[in-house]
Chains A and B, each alone.
Chain A
């Protein structure tokens, strides 16, 4: 099922031609209307007329979240404030948040792109969609909302929380699609069972999940908990919100709407552009956005792109599941390692994810990694040999994931530091690299 077959199945040549035309217009508008871009591009001695091919985008400087923050609140708007009809904002855990502004047309495009994704998930005007994303400054709630209206399905704008009520409504209203974050979804499934509602019997057709990192194991668990296929929705406030990438029935990566966004993958350290299938940091550019064109934004999300035509028939590029944040990445022996890979390996030896810590050292000239894992009842045996086997098995699973042999040490429960605010400190890098 397609929402806009013509747009979603364009040939590569058509896509690139359209992208170049839109990129040139966007860069010109940004340069003319936004002092930030005017100043930045002038400093870099790059001008709109230098964009003659798509490849020329590489001449433009890459923007970080800090660049966007510096323009707080409305500094990146390319239209008069009276033409902005809605604003959203990313959470500002450190420093000022980033504000995102939308014109009427921008909201319409947003709805259009979510509508494409809902169709990819097999949904239409007959469906009842329960949106547990928060309604507010977070883009998840309203973005999905607009898309549901667009396809003419019924929206239940229940927002986050009130989990018992969610269960009751899901059961009474006959919800056919749930939208949630993976962690909230798993919680919702558990609460439903506690309340005597079997979530596999509610009649769900599809689940849309996003705005949190996940592993394939987590997706499987969600699908089993609700007996419905679960599709990832990707987006970020700076660029638009959810809907930048949406997963189709093939569940083999997320289609980035290439008529509205231009994706690139770079090596996080060198900023060098990487080729198809190579893992690196995703850079995104708005190709058509009136309110706030963002050009070459560093997402910090690690993924890879695939350009072959998808099984579903769509030609738009597919991005892999996000496997980490550029912040979390550690380079060891020249290999990029992410805590999420360690987590994946640990889930194979234990049902609950054990607490762990990664310690990187360079005793001589070679890097060494030690992974400390908190032991538990299921990881403890009354025999030295068996315990050595547990350590070896964990090291094997980790080696499978990252390709490097690490030293695994089992430590006592609750002996590793816990997160005080936000994220736990998972990586301790004791190398003197600078």
Chain B
């Protein structure tokens, strides 16, 4: 159920983000979703790819620092109010949300929201009990 996300340390230097994405593309690792958290000195690049282990290996071989981080994905109606509905549930249940990002894809009309919290299992419980559908990891990798 948990999605393995690649978290990559990127120095704020021209070309480093491109370099990371380029070497993944060369090795046929496809990116499903991407987010970048940046400061003035460094950034954390977060990627969901079709093959996380392979992606990690390739990046490490090229001297990037990579960690596999568990996140979860939930389906959203791609309509106004879809996102706020999920956030309200998490807020009402005091879930400490660390970050989120979303992506859409061709195969369904729904967007997928990717979430990371300090206590991931508790977040899963809360979403389950509020009938929010959690997307299996395999489905996200193979979209």
Residues of B near A382 (CB, < 8 A) are 5, 7, 44, 46, 67, 69, 116
Residues of A near B116 (CB, < 8 A) are 382
Docked Cα-Cα span, A377 to B41, in Å, equals 18
- B9 CB contact (under 8 Å) in A388, A409, A412, A414: A412
Contact (Cβ within 8 A) B39 A375: no
Contact (Cβ within 8 A) A410 B63: no
Residues of B near A387 (CB, < 8 A) are 39, 42, 44
Residues of B near A410 (CB, < 8 A) are 9, 11, 41-42
B16 at the A interface (CB under 8 A): yes
Contact (Cβ within 8 A) A376 B65: yes
Contact (Cβ within 8 A) A384 B63: no
B92 at the A interface (CB under 8 A): no
Instruction: From known contacts A382-B67, A382-B69, infer whether A375 and B37 are also in contact, taking CB-CB under 8 Å.
Output: no
B98 at the A interface (CB under 8 A): yes
Q: Which residue of A lies closest to B10 (CB)?
A: A412
Q: Which residue of A lies closest to B42 (CB)?
A: A410
21 A-B residue pairs with CB within 8 Å: A375-B9, A375-B42, A376-B65, A380-B9, A381-B67, A382-B5, A382-B7, A382-B44, A382-B46, A382-B67, A383-B44, A383-B98, A384-B44, A387-B39, A387-B44, A410-B9, A410-B41, A412-B63, A412-B64, A413-B64, A414-B63
List A364-380 residues whose CB lies under 8 Å from chain B: 375-377, 380
List A195-226 residues whose CB lies under 8 Å from chain B: none
Contact (Cβ within 8 A) B65 A413: yes
Contact (Cβ within 8 A) B11 A412: yes
A309 at the B interface (CB under 8 A): no
A411 at the B interface (CB under 8 A): yes
B: residues with CB less than 8 A from A are 5, 7, 9-11, 13, 16, 37, 39, 41-42, 44, 46, 63-65, 67, 69, 98-99, 116
Residues of B near A383 (CB, < 8 A) are 44, 98-99
Docked Cα-Cα span, A409 to B41, in Å, equals 7
Task: Please provide the 4 A-B residue pairs with the shortest distance between their CB atoms, ordered closest to farther.
Answer: A382-B7, A412-B11, A382-B69, A380-B65
Question: How far is the CB of B41 from the nearest CB of chain A, in Å?
Answer: 5
Size bracket, chain A contacts: 10 to 19
Question: How far is the CB of A377 from the nearest CB of chain B, in Å?
Answer: 6
A415 at the B interface (CB under 8 A): yes
Contact (Cβ within 8 A) A413 B63: yes
- B39 CB contact (under 8 Å) in A381, A388, A414, A415: A388
Residues of A near B42 (CB, < 8 A) are 375, 387, 409-411
Q: By DSSP majority rule, is chain B's interface helix, strand, loop, or mixed?
A: strand
Residues of A near B46 (CB, < 8 A) are 382
- A375-416 CB contact bits vs B (8 Å, 1 = yes)? 111001111100110000000000000000000011111110
Q: By DSSP majority rule, is chain A's interface helix, strand, loop, or mixed?
A: loop
Question: How far is the CB of A381 from the nearest CB of chain B, in Å?
Answer: 8
Instruction: From known contacts A382-B7, A412-B11, A415-B11, infer whether A377 and B44 are also in contact, taking CB-CB under 8 Å.
Output: no
Docked Cα-Cα span, A375 to B16, in Å, equals 15
Contact (Cβ within 8 A) A384 B37: yes
Q: Which residue of B lies closest to A410 (CB)?
A: B42
Q: Which residue of B lies closest to A411 (CB)?
A: B11
Q: 17 more A-B contacts (CB under 8 A) besides A409-B42, A410-B11, A415-B11?
A: A375-B42, A377-B65, A380-B65, A380-B67, A382-B5, A382-B116, A384-B37, A387-B44, A409-B41, A410-B42, A411-B11, A411-B42, A412-B63, A412-B64, A412-B65, A413-B64, A413-B65
Question: How far is the CB of A379 from the nearest CB of chain B, in Å?
Answer: 8
Instruction: From known contacts A382-B44, A383-B98, A384-B39, infer whether A412 and B16 are also in contact, taking CB-CB under 8 Å.
Output: yes
Question: How far is the CB of B99 from the nearest CB of chain A, in Å?
Answer: 8
A375, A377, A383, A415: which has the most chain B beta carbons within 10 Å? Answer: A383
Docked Cα-Cα span, A388 to B41, in Å, equals 10
Question: How far is the CB of A151 from the nearest CB of chain B, in Å?
Answer: 52
Residues of A near B69 (CB, < 8 A) are 382
Docked Cα-Cα span, A217 to B93, in Å, equals 47
Contact (Cβ within 8 A) B11 A377: no
Docked Cα-Cα span, A413 to B67, in Å, equals 14
Residues of A near B11 (CB, < 8 A) are 410-412, 415
Q: Which residue of B lies closest to A381 (CB)?
A: B67
Question: How far is the CB of B58 from the nearest CB of chain A, in Å?
Answer: 15
Docked Cα-Cα span, A387 to B42, in Å, equals 9
Question: How far is the CB of A86 from the nearest CB of chain B, in Å?
Answer: 50
Q: Which residue of A lies closest to B7 (CB)?
A: A382
- A229-260 CB contact bits vs B (8 Å, 1 = yes)? 00000000000000000000000000000000
Docked Cα-Cα span, A415 to B41, in Å, equals 14
